[in-house]
Amino acid sequence: MGAGPFLPYGRQDIDADDIAAVVEALGADFLTTGPRVEAFEQAFAAAVGAPHAVACANGTAALHLSMLALGIGPGDRVAVPSVTFLATANCARFVGAEVIFTDVDPDTGLMTPATLAEALERAGPGPVRAVLPVHLRGDVADLAGLARIARQAGAVLVEDAPHALGSRADFGDGDQPVGNGRWSRAATFSFHPVKTIATGEGGMVTTADADVAARLRRLRSHGMERTPGADPWLYEMREPGFNYRLPDILCALGQSQLKRLPAFATRRRALAARYADALAPLAPHVRLATTPGWSRPVLHLLTVLIDFEALGRGRRPVVEALAAEGIGTQVHYIPVHAQPYYVGRYGPLDLPGAAAWYRRCLSLPLFPAMADADVDRVVAALSRALGLD
């Protein structure tokens, strides 16, 4: 085992104020569907500059609700990058739509206007209702360019943004926070423990469209709606929804964590900068994933691209060597188009950018409680594991 405590690739950071917020919520009248839900939504909307924010059970629920709220269903198609978590593609299948997998830039892992255009041409004629760019690691996809291609196809953008809370981008119209609705119809977030803020499980959808927000709120609670002035017990359901609510207890934690977002962002950026300096001597065999010029990320993942083949090393022995020194890593992600379900549904696809990304990527520890010395320890261990020391 290494010379220090085990460093996972990511973990939550909970302090005394977070615990106090949850304890206070536990002593309140509502454990769920109470005032802390709306308070968290309002604080989150303000944090990302969005007119509306709708809390829900988790990031997958946020994606599913977005598809439902936009009326996407059987006969429709949704474009998704292959380098992402399963939920991005699965949310289309949840509503009966088909998935068009796009390739990604091999050095950023992001969907690009060129890979989206290629995927739409490959897919041929038919309705494309939504394009779901993923802000992988926290770097922002080219929303301006993707929005242009999507409009030409008659589709809207839905940002899959669980990695990108606090990230910003400038596409020539000023610095904009991810999730403010400038380029997309909706943006989805996750508060899983390894994300930038944590509620245990939890998600959020932001939108500038009041009608979409209203439908999201109905659909997260079984489709129920109440008419002002009607009998107090009366509710009506015009379409079925789901139990995708986020409890007050978790919203209390989320609101407390949100107050810490500026500090989290500052620390993540400082750690990323230290990694950049520490990894520089390992070039060209090891380098950070590329940050596009427009992206101002708060990185959720610290992903390096390693030329395992040139080094004569397999990824698994490197992962195991790092684990033996108390350093956790992860691979983000196995290309979704290669999963058995999707191969069975759509056949094999040749997406060279996704293949190149997957072949080289490895995520190293990154979380706010890390010390500067932890970064040096990780890089030194990686150098040893790769035979570069």
Nearest alpha-carbon partner for 88 in 306, 361, 335, 362: 335
- Give the helix ranges, DSSP H, for the chain: 16-26, 35-48, 59-69, 86-94, 113-123, 143-153, 210-219, 248-259, 261-279, 308-311, 315-324, 340-346, 352-360, 372-385
Same domain as 250, residue 274: no
Site of tokens 């943004």: 161
What residues are annotated to the active site?
195
Residue 3 lies in a domain: no
How many independent structural domains does the chain possess? Answer: 2
How far from the centroid of its chain's Cα atoms is residue 379's Cα?
A: 25
Same domain as 215, residue 299: no
Same domain as 167, residue 37: yes
C-alpha to C-alpha distance for 286 and 309, rounded to whole angstroms: 12
* Rg value, the chain, Cα: 21
The pLDDT of residue 2 is 54
Residue 321 lies in a domain: yes
- Give the helix ranges, DSSP H, for 70-198: 86-94, 113-123, 143-153
Domain that holds residue 178: 16-259
Instruction: List Cβ neighbours of 275 (8 Å cut-off, separation of 6 or more).
Output: 288, 302, 364, 366, 375, 378, 379
Same domain as 205, residue 127: yes
Residue 376's CB: how many other CB atoms inside 10 A?
14
Please report how the helices 372-385 and 261-279 are oriented relative to each other, as an axis angle in degrees rounded to 10: 40
Q: Which of 259, 291, 316 is the last residue of a domain?
A: 259
> CA dist 173 to 105, 182, 240, Å?
24, 10, 40
Nearest alpha-carbon partner for 278 in 297, 304, 299: 304
Instruction: Work out the angle at residue 82's Cα, subtended by the Cα atoms of residues 179 and 75, and round it to the nearest 5 degrees.
Output: 80
Same domain as 277, residue 201: no
Q: Which residues pair with 243 in a beta bridge?
A: 221
Same domain as 125, residue 25: yes
- CATH (domain of 377): 3.90.1150.10
Total length of the chain? 389
Q: Which residues pair with 159 in a beta bridge?
A: 187
Instruction: Work out the angle at residue 79's Cα, subtended by the Cα atoms of residues 77 and 85, and round it to the nearest 5 degrees.
Output: 120
User: Residue 312 in 3-state DSSP?
Assistant: coil
C-alpha to C-alpha distance for 179 and 205, rounded to whole angstroms: 8
Same domain as 113, residue 28: yes
- pLDDT digit string (tens) for the chain, length 389 residues: 457 899 999 999 999 999 999 999 999 999 999 999 999 999 999 999 999 999 999 999 999 999 999 999 999 999 999 999 999 999 999 999 999 999 999 999 999 999 999 999 999 999 999 999 999 999 999 999 999 999 999 999 999 999 999 999 999 989 999 999 999 999 999 999 999 999 999 999 999 999 999 999 999 999 999 989 999 999 999 999 999 999 999 999 999 999 999 999 999 999 999 999 999 999 999 999 999 999 999 999 999 999 999 999 999 999 999 999 999 999 999 999 999 999 999 999 999 999 999 999 999 999 999 999 999 999 999 999 999 98
User: Residue 237 in 3-state DSSP?
Assistant: strand
- CATH (domain of 95): 3.40.640.10
Same domain as 21, residue 170: yes
The pLDDT of residue 1 is 45
> CA dist 325 to 2, 95, 166, 383, Å?
4, 45, 32, 12
Same domain as 198, residue 97: yes
* Local structure of residue 328 (DSSP, 8 states): -
C-alpha to C-alpha distance for 323 and 310, rounded to whole angstroms: 22
pTM summary value: 0.97
From the number of C-beta atoms within 10 Å of its C-beta (0-12, 13-18, 19+), residue 281 rates as exposed
The pLDDT of residue 75 is 96
Q: Which of 259, 277, 310 is the last residue of a domain?
A: 259
Q: Which of 215, 230, 259 is the last residue of a domain?
A: 259
Residue 320's CB: how many other CB atoms inside 10 A?
12
